[in-house]
């Protein structure tokens, strides 16, 4: 969509008004095609021949002109090189380089936006202001190795199709909220053979284990690291009620000296 002006425009309110009109017409075209935009590009053509292009992206396909206009405001405000009309813009253009199918959805009888939609809009605004590399989210990854079972990706990136495990909310957590990368070594002072340590020292503090659950045995991914050792994980609690996620790397009889590590802390 284009607008060519007989008289150049330079006032911010005039530029925004034209941008709004272009977005409304663009969304109407997308609606007729059953599409939604994932990226919108505004082109600003100055009378001296210089061209500036500003791009905003959304986490989901959209035809919401006011929401995209807010993203352009955020993006323009965050530009390191401000948008300078000089002697004015004699042309403005709106294009949609990335589209996806967007079928009509029933929002309900009340004028309330679903939480997922509101969250997606928040992500879009943060991305427009801070850049896609600064707004990240965790997504599950197909690996049974704990430190590889999730990864950080740009929040606006399309999901990879993997889903988080469906856990019973009444069960204790299998994984801690805080994990160390890499796992931190601990010194064990007493061990049950092929079991958990009765005492261990971590960061020069001695912990006496009063309760333990496990082991959860996790084998190495031989196709990635053929020599990776087997891990036996334990959820342990010390006398002060602090809970740790420990593992023994290597098995007795298979490795010269199995080593113990702390991989995370439970809340």
CA–CA gap between residue 122 and residue 153 (Å, rounded):
17
At 227 the pLDDT is: 61
| Bridge partners for 55 per DSSP | 41
What DSSP assignment string belongs to 98-117?
EEEE-------SSS---HHH
pLDDT band of residue 137 (cuts 50, 70, 90) is confident
On whether the pTM is more than 0.85, the answer is: no
pLDDT category at 194 given cuts 50, 70, 90 is confident
Question: Range with the lowest mean pLDDT among 81-95, 107-121, 212-226?
Answer: 107-121
Strand ranges for the chain from DSSP E: 2-9, 35-46, 51-62, 89-101, 136-140, 150-154, 178-185, 187-191, 197-202, 205-218, 231-238, 243-249, 259-265
pLDDT band at residue 223 under the 50/70/90 scheme: low
* pLDDT reading at 156 higher than 90: no
Rounded to 5°, the CA angle 55-60-66 comes to 60
Q: How many CB atoms lie within 10 A of CB 108?
A: 9
Q: What percent of the chain has pLDDT over 70?
A: 87
DSSP secondary structure, 81-97, as one string: S----TT-EEEEEEEEE
Report the candidate in 42, 41, 43, 45 with the shortest Cα–Cα distance to residue 86: 45
The Cβ-side half-sphere exposure at 119, using a 13 Å CA radius, reads 5
* pLDDT tens figures, 49-79: 999 999 999 988 999 999 999 999 999 999 9
């Amino acid at each position: 969509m284009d607008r060519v002006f007989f008289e150049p425009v330079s006032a911010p309110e005039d530029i925004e008004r034209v941008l709004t009109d272009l977005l409304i017409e663009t969304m109407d075209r997308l609606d007729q095609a059953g599409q939604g935009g994932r990226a919108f590009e505004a082109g600003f053509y100055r009378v001296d021949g210089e061209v500036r292009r500003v791009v905003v992206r959304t986490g989901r396909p959209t035809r919401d002109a006011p929401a995209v206009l807010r993203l352009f405001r955020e993006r323009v405000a965050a530009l390191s090189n401000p948008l300078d009309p000089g002697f004015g813009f004699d042309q403005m253009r709106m294009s949609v380089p990335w589209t996806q199918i967007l079928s009509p959805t029933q929002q309900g009888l009340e004028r309330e936006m679903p939480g997922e939609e509101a969250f997606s809009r928040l992500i879009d605004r943060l991305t427009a202001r801070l850049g896609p590399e600064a707004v990240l989210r965790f997504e599950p990854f197909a690996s049974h190795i704990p430190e590889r079972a999730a990864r950080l990706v740009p929040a606006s990136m399309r999901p990879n199709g993997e889903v988080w495990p469906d856990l019973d909310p009444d069960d204790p957590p299998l994984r801690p909220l805080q994990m160390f990368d890499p796992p931190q070594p601990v010194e064990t002072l007493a061990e049950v053979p092929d079991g958990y340590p009765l005492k261990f020292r971590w960061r020069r503090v001695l912990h006496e284990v009063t309760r333990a659950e496990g082991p959860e045995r996790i084998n190495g991914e031989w196709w990635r690291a053929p020599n990776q050792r087997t891990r036996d994980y334990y959820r342990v609690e010390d006398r002060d009620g602090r809970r740790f996620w420990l593992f023994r790397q290597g098995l007795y009889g298979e490795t010269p000296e199995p080593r113990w590590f702390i991989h995370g802390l439970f809340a």
